Amino acid sequence: MDTRRGRTNRRRFLLIAGLPLLTLGGGMTYLLWPQPYRIPVRTDLEPLNERFRPHLGELTGAHWLGYDVDDEAGGGRSLPSPDSRVRLVGVARLAPGGAAAIVGAPGRTFTSAAPSALPHALDPYLPAAAVWQHSPEFDAYANRETPGARPSGMYLFDTARDLVCFDLLYLHT
């Protein structure tokens, strides 16, 4: 009976001492494990208005991301690439009536469309009930090449909320 009591005491000791050690070890592992790089959602309007004002007018609110597609780690590349690809993606609010004015302009055909696979960080800012409209003619108009950059991508408009959803890739040469 004495040997049985010794085993019970040893098990009790291991349980009491081991559980906190396992918890501490698990917590430290979680803290030290490399986390995926997350790009913060931006709300500043100046960079967007600078790019989009000629095509969209003045933006009054935005949630967007701008990042180098080739820089997966997010730490900044040490050597510049000969062709830097920057993705500019987000949702912005136009001036009242702005989306309806763009969609109703002559010479462009708008049809129903859905946003492409946007980064999950933007999900809270995309209204579930939005009715998005897209026009390849508007994309061609807004994505004109500028000195040093070639944009490509699409713009979607929700006229009920005066929203534009943009997903663009700028190739800087």
Q: Are 27 and 53 in the same domain?
A: no
Instruction: Give the residue carrying structure tokens 């302009």.
Output: 105
Q: What is the pLDDT, as a whole number, of residue 31?
A: 61
As a whole number of angstroms, the distance between CA 48 and CA 46 comes to: 5
Q: What is the pLDDT, as a whole number, of residue 122?
A: 94
Q: Are 68 and 96 in the same domain?
A: yes
Domain count, the chain: 2
Would you say residue 67 lies in a domain?
yes
pLDDT in tens, 41-62: 999 999 999 999 999 999 999 9
Residue 143 CA, chain-centre distance (Å), reads 20
Q: Are 93 and 13 in the same domain?
A: no
Would you call 40 helix, strand, or coil by DSSP?
Answer: coil
Q: Which domain holds residue 25?
A: 1-33
Q: Name the token pair of 138.
A: 């508007």
Q: Are 75 and 52 in the same domain?
A: yes
Listed range (30-44, 59-73, 115-129) with the worst mean pLDDT: 30-44
As a whole number of angstroms, the distance between CA 155 and CA 98 comes to: 13
As a whole number of angstroms, the distance between CA 115 and CA 88 comes to: 14
Note if the pTM is more than 0.75.
no
